[in-house]
Structure formats: C-alpha cells, structure tokens
C-alpha cells in the first residue's frame, strides 16, 4: 500500500486551523496520553531537551497507537538543525512532517525541502533510500518509496532578523507548507530576551503572517496560554501550539499544591 495520506499536510495547504502541543519529555506514554486529548498534532522536539532517535521512534509508535484507537493527532518532528542526515533518520522512523529551526534564506528553505524528498522526476531531492525502514513497513510496503514524496511536509522556523528580512523568498519556496515564527529566539535576537510579548515581536509576527498569506502559506506559532493562542488565531495564524507536555504537568501540579496550601 502507498505511504499514508498526510492529513496535516492537507490542512496546512488549505490553511485550516489546527492545534498541537510540544513534546519535550521524551516519554512515549506522555505522547500517547496527549494524543488521546484531542490535539491535531504533537511535535516531538529533537532540538531542545533529551529526545534522541530512539525516543522519537517510540513516541511516533505511541502516537500511531493512539490513532488506532480513535485519536487523530499526527506526529511532527523538529530536527536539531537543517541537516539532511538527521532528516533522513527521522523520516525513516515514520515522520512525514518535519520542522526545521533557524531557516534564514531561500537556500536554507530549499535544502529543507530537498532533504525530505527522494530523488524523483528531477525534483532535486536528496533523501537517502533504504527499503527496510519503519516508514516503509520494514520493507513490506513496496510502494512506499514511490509515494512518500507526495506526503512529505516541511515547516520552517523563522527566528532571526535575517530570516525576517528574507521572509518573502522563504514563503515563496516551493515545498514549504508552513512558516513557524520562533518567538523566543526572535525576541532575544531583537534585544528582548525572555519577552516574546514585546510590541516589536508582535509587530513582526503580524508582518510575517501577512506576507505568508500573500504567498498562500500557513503560519505557525507557539502560544504560552489559551488567551494568547486565541489572539494569534484571530490574527490569521493557522498552526498553533498550546504550550508543551512539561508545562501542562508542572502547571497542573503547582496549581493543585497551591490550592491545598
């Protein structure tokens, strides 16, 4: 059978609203539990925190297991850098949607797209080929390699003034499905470390959103709470992370303790 239809990619292409959550704890049970909560996607963060390739593999298995029992969350993997070798391993494990940090130029965006595609029909793809990986059902799915490219999806993060200055070219890059605004790093690079709510940062988010809409591309952002997430959605941002597994754990615990004390 062919590669599974990437429903998240279709939602991004249609610029439909979707809600997700960051996975930072490198825990398959946590990933599975959150998948049952109703999120549209769960991002396994291999840039920050303890997630390594085995953790990513296990969490994708857990998310798929939840989908088999009625959940609809899909896995997204953020790699640590724009590197084809890293992307190849994540996609071999079954990832279809990859997030790339610190994309600053059109060339960076083109490399990101190429690393998610097998060489096919003169497409400049550079993804290495193995026929016995989990993504291809360990070699049992003979049609995976010929159908995988159509389901591959790329999300690029713009996190610096240089990326901001090149946003139109990045958004116009064929194969980029979503531009994700890295609020924390961008705020720091603008001289507002730890203050992503600063007016300069919010103005930049609004500008990037408008440029991406002109190019028909979805826009994503990480929201610290529900009220901020609602405001981002009203701005036209489609792909919103409702914080992270670790924060929901610590917020819930500290709120309960505070209530008891």
List residues with catalytic annotation: 48
d(CA 176, CA 12): 10
| Nearest residue to 165 (alpha-carbon basis) of 191, 183, 186 | 186
- The encoded tokens of residue 16 equal 């439909």
């Amino acid at each position: 059978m062919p590669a599974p239809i990437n429903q998240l990619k279709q939602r991004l292409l249609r610029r439909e609203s979707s809600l997700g959550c960051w996975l930072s704890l490198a825990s398959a049970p946590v990933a599975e539990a959150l998948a049952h909560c109703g999120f549209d996607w769960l991002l396994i963060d291999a840039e920050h925190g303890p997630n390594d390739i085995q953790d990513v593999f296990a969490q994708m298995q857990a998310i798929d297991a939840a989908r088999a029992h009625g959940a609809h969350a899909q896995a997204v993997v953020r790699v640590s850098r724009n590197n084809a070798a890293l992307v190849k391993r994540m996609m071999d494990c079954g990832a279809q949607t990859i997030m790339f940090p610190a994309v600053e130029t059109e060339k960076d965006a083109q490399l990101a797209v190429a690393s998610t595609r097998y060489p096919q029909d003169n497409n400049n793809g550079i993804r290495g080929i193995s026929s016995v990986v989990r993504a291809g059902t360990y070699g049992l799915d003979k049609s995976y390699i010929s159908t995988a490219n159509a389901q591959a999806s790329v999300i690029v993060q713009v996190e610096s003034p240089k990326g901001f200055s090149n946003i139109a070219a990045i958004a116009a890059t064929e194969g980029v499905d979503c531009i994700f605004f890295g609020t924390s790093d961008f705020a720091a690079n603008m001289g507002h470390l730890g203050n992503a709510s600063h007016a300069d940062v919010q103005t930049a988010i609004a500008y990037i959103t408008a440029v991406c809409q002109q190019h028909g591309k979805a826009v994503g952002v990480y929201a610290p709470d529900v009220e901020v997430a609602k405001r981002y959605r009203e701005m036209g941002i489609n792909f919103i992370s409702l914080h992270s597994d670790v924060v929901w754990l610590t917020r819930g615990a500290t709120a309960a303790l505070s209530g008891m004390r």
